[in-house]
Amino acid sequence: MCESSVYLLKGSEKKLVMPEAAKVVSSAGSVLCISLSGDRETVSGVWIAEADLMKHEIILKSRQG
């Protein structure tokens, strides 16, 4: 499939936000992740730092440092 895991990077640690996101939307300082089943997870105060689709990984970083 084409889903990607979404992680929040804190220092050198990656925290899993959503294991299989089918859609990722960035808007007004937050990122919304949606799975194929419709589950939603919103992370505020972050930006999409990297989208590595070969690894099926999306990395979010905090807007504060």
In the 3-class helix/strand/coil scheme, how is the chain assigned residue by residue?
A: CCCEEEEEEECCEEEEEEEEEEEEEEECCEEEEEECCCCEEEEECEEEEEEECCCCEEEEEECCC
Q: What are the boundaries of each domain within the chain?
A: 4-62
Which pTM does this prediction carry? 0.92
Compute the average pLDDT of residues 9-13. Answer: 93
Give residue 65's pLDDT band: very low, low, confident or very high (50, 70, 90).
low
Write the pLDDT tens digit of every residue in 13-52: 999 999 999 999 999 889 999 999 999 999 999 999 999 9
As given in the structure block, the two tokens for residue 65 are 């440092």
Looking at residue 17, what is its pLDDT? 98
Looking at residue 64, what is its pLDDT? 83
